[in-house]
Structure formats: C-alpha cells, structure tokens
Amino acid sequence: MNKTYKVAFISDVGKIEIVEKKLEQPEGNQVLVKIDSCAICTLEQRIFKGIMKRYPFAGGHEAAGIVVEVGRTVKNLKVGDKVAARMLTNCGECYYCRNGHENQCVISFKADIHEGIGGPGGFAEYMMLDAKSLYKMADDLDLCHAALSEPLACCVHSINNANIELGNDVVVIGVGIMGAFHIQLAKMRGARVIACEVDDARLEIARKMGADILINSKEGDTIQKVKALTGGRGADVVFCTAALAQLAADSIQMVGKVGRVVMYSSFHPDKPIELSVNSVHSTEMNITGAVNANTRDFLVATKLLSDKMIDPSLLISEVVPFKNIEYAFERAIDPATYRVIVKM
C-alpha cells in the first residue's frame, strides 16, 4: 500500500489544490477506507464560487468507498466491505445528541479528517474514519449510488418531519436532486405529489420520479393552481427545496389548515419574509425546517439504496476522474446539472 495519499481542497475562489498526506494505520475503532466516489454538494459549490468563504476547505461529505484496513476493536466491518460515510460530526454528549437530535449537535460541521486542513475531506484517495461513521452497503451496489446516501438521508429526515399520511396532497417546490428525492419518498409514503418547477427538463425528471401532477411555475399563479387541485383547501404538506425567499413565502400560502410546511433548503443570503402570525394561529399550520440527518435517517437511506428501492441513476449528471476535479466543480456549478461525482 502507498505510504502517502492525495487530498483535494478548495484554496480560494475557483481554485482547487491537491496535496499529499501520510497514510496512517487504523487503531482501535478506526477504519481505513479507500474512497471510490464523492459527490459535489451545494456546500462545496458555494465555497468554490465564493458565496461562502472558508479557505482552505477540504470538501466532500457525500462519499463512499471500500474498507481496506480495520483497527483491532472494529467488530461489524471487514476488509472489502462497501461503505457509505456519514460525515456530520456529533459529540454524543451535548443536550441535542442525548435527546435524539444529533443532527443539531453543537459541533456539527467541525471536521478535521486530514491533518492541517479543515473540512469533511471526501475528495481524497483514502479516509480514516471511526467505525460508527460508516454504514455497510450491498455488495452489488454501484458506489456512485452509495455516495448519495447522505443527500438521501437528509431528505428522509425532512420527510419524517412532515408526518406525511396516506392520501395527503404533497407539493414539492424545486426539482433539483433534493426535490427529486422528496418526490420519490413522498410517493413511498402514499401521497399524491404535485411538483412545481420553472424548467421543463426538470419537470420531466419529476414525472420519472413519480410526481402525479406537474406545474410549470412560470405559467400562471402556482398558489391558485395548488388550491384548485385540492378543492380550495391547500396542500397538506409543502416542501420548499429551492433557495429563494419568495418561494418560501409561496410555500406558506399554498398550505391548508393543519398543514405542514418544511423549509428544506438553506438560504444564502438569508432574506426574511413576511408572515401572518394570525394565519398560523387560526389554521394551526406547522412551519418547520429540516437540516442534516440523524443516524437513523442515514441507516434508512442506506437500506433504500442497497435494497434498490430508490434508484438515483437519473440524478447523476456526470462522473469525473479525480485528476479532472476542477472540471468537475465547473460542471457542478452549472444549474443544469444534478450531482456530479468525482471518481477517486
């Protein structure tokens, strides 16, 4: 085995550098994983474009690979296992970790996988991770699909927050990769799904993912269309997966009495919207958010992928070799793409 390995990190706006690090041996409950695939998420795209300035930043938190060595106390993983990595850090000791909301841990996102460079670090040939962060995947699963466990897990968390019931009318605003996963998962919960998008190509993806009704938001009043489709009531659940403040406001207008609105997307910049608190009071609507995934959500996502209940093939726009990682980032920031995966 090589004694060094390569790690890519974002060094400045539009710039990626690759450095070599010393390859260590796993100890205790550590596992050495040879990374196969790592997807470029919105977070990395924002840092690459300079919307969020965190330099240097070793991005890559949607990663999957193969176990090559294990520490002596590792019990449930062995050499050769395919694994997906849950990169969200949590201490296990704070109030939120201990009451079942480890996705809200006070140290979330504070990762330092590769010495000297902050960040989750999935754009690397190898990663040393604790066994508890790794989830075994099916032996016959494409590791490009396994790399999408993390975004799917975040959508599982969102779906759970919405408490979808059989026969509910569910609106999904935005059909990026997260919107597409929401459509698939909502259908699995027994909902009628209405997809809202301005791009016809993405509406076609929504149809293939199982959406029952497609609305091009450029053509007419989307809020009134949703109300007309629901007998004037409004939707039971609305997911806002697009990062536009106006769409967040529209989400609240679309929901009916005792309905649930989930603000799934993160908003940068964060532009406040007006809210009728009396309307919230009188309709008993529930406005909530969804961020990251708990360990149980991640487990569910890995099972859905391993058991082929979710097929993300249509959501992988391109697979790019590690040596062309700058090109991969340029492709990823193109709004027409879904996930671009770096093949290590």
Q: Is residue 67 part of a domain?
A: yes
CB–CB of 49/38 below 8 Å?
no
Q: Are residues 49 and 84 in the same domain?
A: yes
CB–CB of 88/109 below 8 Å?
yes
User: For 151, which DSSP code?
Assistant: H
Q: Are residues 214 and 264 in the same domain?
A: yes
Q: Are residues 120 and 39 in the same domain?
A: yes
User: What is the predicted pLDDT for the residue at 1?
Assistant: 65
Residue range 156-189, pLDDT digits in tens: 999 999 999 999 999 999 999 999 999 999 999 9
Residue range 245-271, pLDDT digits in tens: 999 999 999 999 999 999 999 887 889
Beta bridge partners of 135: 84
Please provide the DSSP assignment of 287-335 as one string.
EEE--S--HHHHHHHHHHHHTTSS--GGGEEEEEEGGGHHHHHHHHTST
Number of domains present in the structure of the chain: 2
Whole-number Å distance between alpha carbons of 97 and 231: 42
Q: Domain containing 23: what range?
A: 4-148+312-343
CB–CB of 254/234 below 8 Å?
yes
- C-alpha closest to that of 242 among 146, 171, 304: 171
Q: Are residues 143 and 192 in the same domain?
A: no
Q: What is the pTM of this model?
A: 0.96
CATH code of the domain in which 65 resides: 3.90.180.10
Q: Are residues 31 and 86 in the same domain?
A: yes
Residue range 81-124, pLDDT digits in tens: 999 999 988 889 999 999 999 999 988 767 778 988 989 999 99
Q: Which residues 6+ apart lie within 8 Å of 77 measured at CB?
A: 31, 67, 70, 83, 131, 134, 136
